[in-house]
Amino acid sequence: MIPDYLDRLERELNFDRSLARSVRQEVEDHLWEAVAVDCTGDTLQAQQRAIASFGDARVIAAGFAATSLGIHSRRAGVAAILVIASVFIAMKARIAWYAAAQWTIGDEMRAISGPVLLIDRHAFWLAVVVGLSSWAYIRSRPIPAALHPAYCRQLRRFFLLCSLAAAALVVSVLSDAVLTSILLRGTALSVEFLVPIFSMAIEIACAGILIARIRGISLRQASAAALIGT
Amino acid sequence: MLKGHLDMIVLAALSASGSAHGYAVIEEIKRRSGGAFDLPEGTIYPALHRLEQTGLLKSSWTTADNGRRRRVYTLTKAGNRALVDQRAVWKQFADAIAGLLGGSRPREKPA
């Protein structure tokens, strides 16, 4: 009976798997201790009483939702800033390498590279501004005791800001990829290619990490919203 | 009303018992309140986790005598300070209500 209840609680907490595992252990300890101090001698009834006193698994899980979502959203805000900073460092390192190796874009490709460079710069600084705003926004919102509709709206706003920052960053990374391929076009393959290719790989990985984080928040929010919605 | 003061109740129970696991915190609340706070036991755990995340409590895992893993909570310095503040606010509130209901004027706050 207690294992069934613990399974149900863990399922209800599926918006945060590591939390679900630790809460399960904690609640298991609680329920078996309640059974142990029950003096009636009937283990089955003692388990029933322990579960009834503990409360509905769905209600308990909903109690954890606000803190979990709040913490994960704040972490995603920090991750967004770190990712954008990493892309910036990779970008600057590549440009420094081009300068050191005296690699420049040929005149025939300047008509294409000019607008791409403009898009790259604007998209990157948009990602910086929106990323910082999203972090500042979620950091300034206190995490409530319960997941109420107002906090859900704040989390949605944060999600939208983060998504916008990620979209801008993806545009910037794609522009970087185009610029890199223009620069490397026609150059003989050599070991010097490794620096721009490696820096581009870092940028793509960073953008991927940010997208995965945002997707994670979206899934958590959907699970938690379903929990309080019924 | 109880829900709004759950954090203070949990901090007070932990302050009294030192380090304690969830079950012991609930038992302490029941004992010290004379059984007046008969809330669903499970509601304590989200409060314990929230207080830990805000830095008012810290926790560690130990192994109980029965061999099960047990999470034990302790008040942090910030938690002690928060409890002192909440006690002062509660006393002021209780004095004001007592004055209101009993007809006696609450004590003036020192300037």
DSSP SS3 for B11 = helix
User: Would you kindly state where each structural domain of chain A is located, as residue ranges?
Assistant: 2-55, 64-229
Q: Name which of B3, B42, B68 is nearest A29 (Cβ-Cβ).
A: B68
The pLDDT confidence band at residue A229, using thresholds 50, 70 and 90, is: low
Does B3-102 carry CATH code 1.10.10.10?
yes
Q: What pLDDT digit, counting tens, does each position of A169-226 carry?
A: 999 999 999 988 888 776 777 777 788 889 999 999 999 999 999 999 888 888 888 8
A29 contacts B46? CB cut-off 8 A: no
Task: Break chain B into its structural domains and give their ranges.
Answer: 3-102
Query: What's the pLDDT score for residue A101?
Result: 78
A112 vs A95 pLDDT, higher one = A95
What is the predicted pLDDT for the residue at B109? 55
Neighbouring-strand partners of residue B71: B61
Residues of B in contact with A63 (CB under 8 A): 42-43, 45-47
Cα B40 to Cα A137: distance, rounded to the nearest angstrom: 34
Give contacts of B72 with chain A, Cβ < 8 Å: none
